Copies of this chain bind each other. A is one copy, B any other.
Amino acid sequence: MSKKTRVLILTGSANDAPKLSGAREVLDELGIPFRFHVASAHRTPERAVRLVEEAERQGVQVFIACAGMANHLAGAVAAHTVLPVIGVPLSGNAMGGLDALLSTVQMPPGIPVATVAVGGARNAGILAAQILATMDATLKRKLRAMRRKMKRKVEATDGKIGI
């Protein structure tokens, strides 16, 4: 696997950056090079488009777009690429993330967004890796190892935890 950026993570607001550490952790752990940018579908629409188009030219293969409220970022990214776009709805207001979830997942026919759970940055990172692993045997092995580690962790907990 080259050092070329394979995943571009975009978020609509700098305030949301701390909610995305899960994606960073899992991509680092799997050795997948990624870049992170703040770009808003509403406040910097041209910039968001430009980042997507540049990234695609430079060989980025998967996008992760995160935003709260009426989360249009993932949809806006998806409208400008045929690469897979993963959407992460973010909670943070009184709506419990339902607004962001529906705004991310309910895309019209033609332009899908691969939506994960509200606040599911870590799963977005894993899903990006799974997509890349469809044709990358080494990465697939790493994902399987991570899965086994996760299983062992659950099993190790058992017996030590009471209710």
A residues contacting B by CB (< 8 A) are 9, 11-14, 17-18, 20-24, 36-45, 47, 49, 61-62, 67-70, 72, 75-76, 78-80, 82-84, 86, 91, 93-120, 122-124, 126-127, 130-135, 140, 143-144, 147, 150-151, 154-155, 157-158, 161-163
Cross-chain contact A72 with B72 (CB below 8 angstroms): yes
Q: How far is the CA of A144 from the CA of B53 in the complex (A)?
A: 14
B-chain residues with CB within 8 Å of residue A17 when the two chains form the complex: 161-163
B-chain residues with CB within 8 Å of residue A22 when the two chains form the complex: 109
Cross-chain contact A70 with B108 (CB below 8 angstroms): yes
Which of B116, B120, B158 is in CB contact (< 8 Å) with A39? Answer: B158
Which of B45, B61, B135, B140 is in CB contact (< 8 Å) with A76? Answer: B45
Query: DSSP class of A's interface residues: helix, strand, loop or mixed?
Result: mixed
Q: Assess A69 versus B131: contact at CB under 8 Å? Given A24-B163, A155-B47.
A: no
Counted per complex, copies of this chain come to: 8
Cross-chain contact B38 with A68 (CB below 8 angstroms): no
- Distance to closest chain B CB from A62 (angstroms): 7
Cross-chain contact A120 with B109 (CB below 8 angstroms): yes
B-chain residues with CB within 8 Å of residue A18 when the two chains form the complex: 163
Cross-chain contact A158 with B69 (CB below 8 angstroms): no
Nearest-CB residue, chain B, relative to A14: B157
Cross-chain contact B106 with A103 (CB below 8 angstroms): yes
